[in-house]
Amino acid sequence: MKPQHQHDHKQTPQRPVGSLGVLGQLADFLDDRTGYRAVMHEALYERVPGGARWRYVWGSSLVFAFMTQVITGLVLWSSYSASAQTAWESVYYIQHEMTGGWLLRGIHHVMAQAMVVLLALHLMQVVIDGAYRAPREVNFWLGLVLMMLVLGMALTGYLLPWDQKGYWATRVATNLAGLVPLVGPSLQQIVVGGPDYGHHTVTRFFAIHAGFLPVTLVLMLVVHLSLFRKHGLCAKQPITRPDAMFWPDQVLKDAVAMLAVMAVVLGVILMPAVRAMLEGRPIVPGELGAELGAPADPSQPYAAARPEWYFLFLFQFLKVFEGWGASGEFFGAIVVPGLVMTAMFLMPILGRWQLGHRFNVAFTFALLAGIGLLTAMATNEDYAALWADRSSFADVEKLLEETENDKAKIAAHFGNDAAKIAAFEARAKKLERIRHSQSFLDAVALAKAEAARSIELAGRPERIPSAGMLELIRNDALSQGPKLFAQHCASCHAHVDPAAPEAEAVLAKASAANLHGFGTAAWMRGLLDPKQVAGPAYFGNTAHKEDDMVNFVQNDLTDAETWKPDDIEAVIAAMTAEAGLAAAGTAPAVIEKGRGLVADGERCGSCHTFRDNGVAAGSAPDITGWGSREWLVGIIVDPTHERFYGDSNDRMPSFGKAAEGSAPILTGRQIGLIADWLRGDWYRPAGH
């Protein structure tokens, strides 16, 4: 050790003579055996020519950001479960149930984005200062590789929650990888872990995200930093101030930058909480930090799919090549980015000439400006409807509808005036953009609602079934009911709150009863209302509009002698009780009275079978258990059954009855989901 000490005599602070205290002695003991003081000294007392500057902080900030990702990533790892059946579930658990999980995941998520920004700043600083020039070329190249590694981690991390957003974005990314010449398809299959997306997609992306890439990055970073130290800092020219030492002058600036980065990250995470507090809304920690969408479902379209914002420019760039087919994507996703990366790798060589250096700087700025522009374009396309005034296009919308977008008709409308037609077409194009944007915004709103419902369901006291969250969602009446209804029922039936502003328009288009609130007192009250029974919400647009029931309601029920208002209310109470949807606090005596009236052979019982009133089936639907799950399932399965409409059934298909040699239209499970949804029977968290 001794020669070493002497060798470093000028650099290493010597041990204070006669230092006292246990700590001092311990430090001496360690130094004798490790030489740590020399190492610390080497690390801290680097000369900074021209003194500490703010422009040098980006590299250190990146190292700090990476260390943050390592710390938060390792702890996330301790609770993450990589499989298609558990990835979403474990991330849900981290985000919504583990203490501080939202904060940890939020830091990891937002810091990843901060890293991309810091990368851009670091790159700009290096290029502007010409820090890539000899002898630092290799280190510049290493920096570019590091940048790609970071972007690779960002890309792979996006998938890991295995939610709709990550799933669909990754499908696109991996399909694009498949366009690489020769090896593309194999490359894609290797990354995806097989021909389809599943368990091995998650395990592989996780291994790449948390293993291969960070390990490679650390190795490269060690070389990057040691080369940086070997060549020294590339000082801003001309040097006008005295040199300083890395410690503490530059370290202070670096530390302030790190603190600022962390403050921004925390700010992004906590901003919604502050907003909620100001608006007096409760703060739900699980909703802070990183988003978690609905679990990945290959069977459900996801129109809100977008890459993370820092890849949005690539997404937009691909649109430039729309209409080029596969070669366009190959060009936009592989060739151009490849050329850009090549140009960047050539920077140190070009930079040998002053003109080349200027070109490099201009190129970098142009690149960043292009990225900024493409990002702005993508954002504008998606969110235009937020700020565009759609009402000013009402005339365009009207004309398009009237002419069914027939070019000849439109031309005729404008008297074949080319200028007017061109002006109209330009406005029609703008309207189309607003419409596209609106459908994207609708998709985002839907995605948010689906995510919220998934999270609500995951919090049930029974917890998530072992088959995973998707199974729970596929059996959730609130999630599936509207979809099944839209697909199978809505071509005839409306499902709209009569009080809603759009109700009239919706009902006008329907050709069967409005099933909103079916089984409730409000629905029954409408049916028994002489003004409504033949209206569009009930039998008005059906073959039954002049049948006995309409007749009965319009003529018999209006006879105040036989049907006192209390009687009708009692019938309503009795029928909602059949549905199991009677209002709380309905007196049992009223229900009993209503049952008597319904069963009465002079009243409802003159046609309807009800309980044991002995009316034979066939004349009218059996209304025993009307509106109950069992009754609804029954009528959806087969309305032509004699228990329901029999031969007088009007157009409604027998959804659960198999025709000769084919499967029924709907499975029993699907019919049950529709019935549950119509009855409003789905899981609600306590207190809602």
Partner 1 sequence: MKRDKTSDESAADRRGFMTKFLAIVCGGLATVPPVLAGVWMFLDPLRRRGAAATFLPVTDLASVPDDGIPRQFAVVADRVDAWTGFAAEPIGAVYLRREKGSDTVEALSATCPHAGCFVEMESQERCFRCPCHNSKFTLDGGMVAPSPSPRAMDGLECQVAKNGEIAVKWQNFYTGIAEKVARP
Q: Looking at the DSSP assignment, which residues form a beta bridge with residue 47?
A: 245
Q: Provide the mask over 303-342, with x wherever binding to partner 1 is found by CB under 8 A and - wherever it is not.
A: ----------------------------------------
Decide if 675 contacts 686 (C-beta within 8 A).
no
Question: Is residue 266 at the binding interface for partner 1, with CB under 8 A as the rule?
Answer: yes
* Burial class of residue 480, CB neighbours in 10 A (0-12, 13-18, 19+): buried
Amino acid (1-letter code) at residue 224? H
Which of the stretches 97-105, 373-381, 424-432, 607-615 binds partner 1 when contact is defined by CB under 8 A? Answer: 97-105
Across the strands, what pairs with 245? 47
Stretch that binds partner 1, among 168-176, 238-246, 534-542, 553-561 (CB under 8 A): 238-246
Q: Please tell me whether residue 121 binds partner 1 under the rule CB under 8 A.
A: no
> According to the binding rule CB under 8 A, does residue 97 interact with partner 1?
yes
Indicate the residue among 240 and 662 with the shorter CB distance to partner 1: 240
- Regarding 103 and contact with partner 1 (CB under 8 A), the answer is yes
- Decide if residue 2 touches partner 1 (CB under 8 A): no
**What string of DSSP letters covers 79-143?**
T---STTTHHHHHHHHHHTSTTHHHHHHHHHHHHHHHHHHHHHHHHHHHHTTTTSTT-HHHHHHH
232 binds partner 1 (CB under 8 A): no
Select the span of 86-94, 363-371, 437-445, 669-677 touching partner 1 (CB under 8 A).
86-94
Helix pair angle (477-488, 668-678), 10° resolution: 100
252 binds partner 1 (CB under 8 A): yes
Q: Which is nearer to partner 1, 97 or 546 (CB)?
A: 97
* Single-letter code of the amino acid located at 468: G
Distance CA 202, CA 192 (A): 8
> Closest by alpha carbon to 83, among 224, 236, 194, 204?
204
Which of 43, 71, 277, 284 is close enough to bind partner 1 by CB under 8 A?
71
Closer residue to partner 1, CB minimum distance, 102 or 518: 102
Spell out the residues 6+ positions from residue 496 whose beta carbon is closer than 8 angstroms to its own: 502, 503, 506, 507, 514, 516
The answer to whether residue 259 forms part of the interface with partner 1 (CB under 8 A) is: yes
Which x/- pattern, by CB under 8 A, does the window 449-468 give for partner 1? ---------x-x-xxxxx--
Buried b / exposed e across 144-167, counting CB within 10 Å, b at 16+? Answer: bbbbebbbbbbbbbbbbbbbbbbb
- Single-letter amino acid code for the residue at 507: L
Binding segment for partner 1 (CB under 8 A), chosen from 89-97, 327-335, 480-488, 620-628, is 89-97
Give the shortest CB-1-to-partner 1 separation in angstroms.
Answer: 18
Q: Which of 227, 255, 441, 444 binds partner 1 (CB under 8 A)?
A: 255
Alpha helices in 232-289 (DSSP H): 251-278
Pair 224, 139: CB distance under 8 Å: yes
411 class by beta-carbon count within 10 Å (0-12 exposed, 13-18 middle, 19+ buried): middle
User: What string marks each residue from 632 to 671 as x (binds partner 1 by CB under 8 A) or -?
Assistant: ----------------------------------------
- For the CB of residue 461, give the shortest distance to partner 1 in the complex, in Å: 8
CB 329 within 8 A of CB 176: yes
Token pair listed for 504: 């009239």
Q: Which 14-33 residues touch partner 1, going by CB under 8 A? A: 14, 16-17
Establish if 191 lies at the interface with partner 1 (CB under 8 A). no
Instruction: Report the interface residues with partner 1, using CB under 8 A.
Output: 9-10, 13-14, 16-17, 45, 47, 64, 67-68, 71-72, 74-75, 78-79, 89-90, 92-94, 97-101, 103-104, 107, 111, 242-245, 247-249, 251-252, 254-256, 258-259, 261-262, 265-266, 458, 460, 462-466
